[in-house]
Structure 1
């Protein structure tokens, strides 16, 4: 969960945070000042020193405003026609028991041995170690079965790609892995270049999200789905930061959910280390505007 210092940074360091703090302070000051006037109306003989009383009310109002306006770790909105819920919350994706979305690249590489292909701390790396106990061969076999009906778009040689898998699938491909309790939607959101750096354009991500929602619609049985901020492990996707990526995901999901239905609930899970990158106050405003 987000630390108090990170919450206060969002409250005092953003335009939405300061605006909300100002509005909340004005309301609290008005309530306290009105209460003081009522007290004096009923007990006119009560001695109140003007300036100390004013400063006390101002201080209490400010303290109350900070408590009431501080950013939360969770924002959510319920939609109707059709009914579905969208939530953004800080936490651990793999603590959830619902269907999960996991980002991959077009080669569906999985090995975290030297972290040249996949970083162990990434969502993809955690998927290998926390869900499949680090068994690369098992995960590769499951992916191979899930991709059996997908036509590759190319094949590298060991001279062009020094390590990892050589077969390339279309960006946007979604491999569905199922166990007895839930499904894992392994979405290829970008291309793993031969220098082992990942690239993805805004257009590719938008198109890939559309394919992801359609796959979830077909295989998710309308159950709850949770996902990370897809592509956020990249430093940039066409100069898009975490907040922009998150808004794109929400906008794309809501548009598809309204058009055809996707699932009854989508939760985008923000890792605690990325909390400071997301203005949860602004995000709440954005979510209500959809």
Structure 2
């Protein structure tokens, strides 16, 4: 029975990994800046509340261009943008006239968290309840203001060059609409790790996201701690599944076995990047997990803002 459970999970993760794109190495010569977030990619995502104002400009102030959002066109950096009032996906097109580059920012206007009812449901989807008090008064643990609505039509939308929205949805078995939280810093960190693996001669199309966002309800149902960074969209459990693509971690250390040592290899690679300063303010937790009856080895990565290892 336990073997079958692990086999079913591996098959599910294989399907999810097959939805991923081959590694996209494109980077912008002139990064875009959204509020204070530096975006170095030609495709990315940003998450706002209805009517929220946000700014867009190029990192190089000498560059100018045009942007279009929800039927409105304006010069880049000329004034703050106001997000549409209706929740949903609004692709924003940005052109850099001087640099000749174009960018797509998939702007997700979130559904307000106040729409979650007393039973912890949002349009029938189980969210549960967030802790009323932030852990150690750290604002990153405050309840979220809103959630991204995930539908069949936006499930495969890219949130960065090599990851899609649907890869981060909570694994609870419910239909559409689903809801998710996803921190842009998490995507920047994952893309950074992926690029460095490829740069150092470890060809990798992408990561399987074994667990991304978890609703408080789902997180509690699997017995995890209430302040897990997964619950705030700032953590991912990942593994590499390229050779062969079979739903479990690859033999990364080349010893002919698939076990905890492969997760240790990946974690050591990421830890060295962290010690070399590759993540800047996106430092965070790094955990190593071996195989059990339900899953193969994997690595936990998060962007909590301080170093943690286990």
- Tell me if both proteins adopt one fold, taking TM over 0.5 as the criterion: no
Determine which structure has the larger strand proportion and give its number. 2
Normalised to the residue count of structure 2, the TM-score between the two structures is 0.29
Higher relative contact order (CA 8 A, sep 6+): 1
Give the structure with higher Rg (CA).
1
Determine which structure has the larger helix proportion and give its number. 1
